[in-house]
Amino acid sequence: MASTFGRVRKAVIPAAGLGTRFLPATKAVPKEMIPIVDIPMIQLIVEEAVRAGIEDIVLITARHKEAIENHFDYNYEVEDTLEKKGKADLAEVSKAVGKMCNLISIRQKNPMGLGHAVLCAEPVIGNEPFAVLLGDDLIDSTVPCTKQLVEIFEEQKASVVGVMEVPADEVSKYGIVGGKMLTPRLMDIKQLVEKPAPQAAPSRFAIPGRYVLSPTIFQCLKETKPGKGGEIQLTDGLQLLAERERLLAYQFSGTRYDTGDRLGFIDATIAYALKRADLAPGVKEILKKHLG
Ligand code: G1P
């Protein structure tokens, strides 16, 4: 039987946003389907969860997002055609995505904020711990960021959020945590503020979209009043959680890319292309050409 601080088997990926920051690309294509080189961003996020031992992905979705569900299904027409043409390798690339995980999607019918999106997953998560991964944050690391957090959760029997240090002039872009350092990387959180002004920030430790939470968060979210932007904020729900249970912040190892931002997206594209043995030499030539 699953228990509050048992094994983490499920992850919630909120993907209901309109993606207006990336218009016109997102007019007809869900922003989660935009690729970094040739892999849609949502697949990179799902791969991180799967590499952390997650089996069930709960996708919080919205109207016009069917392409995401199709991506994680089989595409019989493409796969069968490739096999008949003797291109079994390519057919396998397509099939492998279909086999990756169990995808359960839930519609968030009204955009009421990230906290509300996570609360929509309650009927599927039930009384189990779960991970949350936000799609605009790509984290490249040897041990997947979510796996680092799952290990802390299972060892400490406490909810944990991933954090990274940001410059003072960037705290207003993130949920910021404050509390007592237990070790150089681990903090006992006392306070969380969503997108504070620099002078109001309890620290410079920001949450870039990775969480492993006990199901108590659902009750906390139900009691959370609309906050910043009139939305139910996950950060505000986490403040209630920190008052009821232990909530930790872990400074993860890895490089984070903000792919919701145009320059962050270009940065991630170049970095991921340079990591590919088949592409790196060509990409270096292209960069040299453009930089003169
Ligand atoms: C959301 C969260 C914020 C978090 C950020 C990470 O904000 O509300 O706490 O730090 O994601 O990317 P958004 O960027 O969706 O406005």
Residue nearest (by alpha carbon) to ligand 1 atom 15: 114
Cα 177 to ligand 1 centroid, rounded to whole Å: 13
Query: Using CA atoms, how far apart are residues 198 and 203, in angstroms rounded to an integer?
Result: 9
Where residue 175 sits, what CATH number does that domain have?
A: 3.90.550.10
Spans of the chain, pLDDT less than 70: 1-2
Q: Is residue 289 part of a domain?
A: no
Query: Using CA atoms, how far apart are residues 139 and 114, in angstroms rounded to an integer?
Result: 19
Question: Does the CB atom of residue 237 touch ligand 1 within 6 A?
Answer: no
Q: Is residue 267 part of a domain?
A: no
Cα 238 to ligand 1 centroid, rounded to whole Å: 13
Q: Is residue 46 part of a domain?
A: yes
- pTM equals 0.95
Tokens of 11: 């992850």
Q: Is residue 20 part of a domain?
A: yes
118 closest CA partner among 102, 103, 104, 106: 106
Question: What domain range is 136 assigned to?
Answer: 10-260
pLDDT digits (tens, 9 = 90+) for 161-182: 999 999 999 999 999 999 999 9
Q: Is residue 291 part of a domain?
A: no
Q: What is the domain count for the chain?
A: 1
DSSP state of 225: P
Q: Which of 21, 41, 136, 221 maximizes ligand 1 atoms within 8 Å of its Cβ, making it the mutation to test the pocket?
A: 136
What is the pLDDT, as a whole number, of residue 1? 52
Strands 10-14 and 56-61 come out as: parallel
Question: Does the CB atom of residue 48 touch ligand 1 within 6 A?
Answer: no
72, exposed or middle or buried, with CB in 10 Å at 0-12, 13-18, 19+?
buried
**What is the 3 state secondary structure string of 25-73?**
CCCCCCHHHCEECCEEHHHHHHHHHHHCCCCEEEEEECCCCHHHHHHCC
Q: Is residue 285 part of a domain?
A: no
Question: Does the CB atom of residue 125 touch ligand 1 within 6 A?
Answer: no
Q: Is residue 24 part of a domain?
A: yes
Query: Using CA atoms, how far apart are residues 222 and 237, in angstroms rounded to an integer?
Result: 8
Average pLDDT over the chain reads 96
Q: Is residue 95 part of a domain?
A: yes
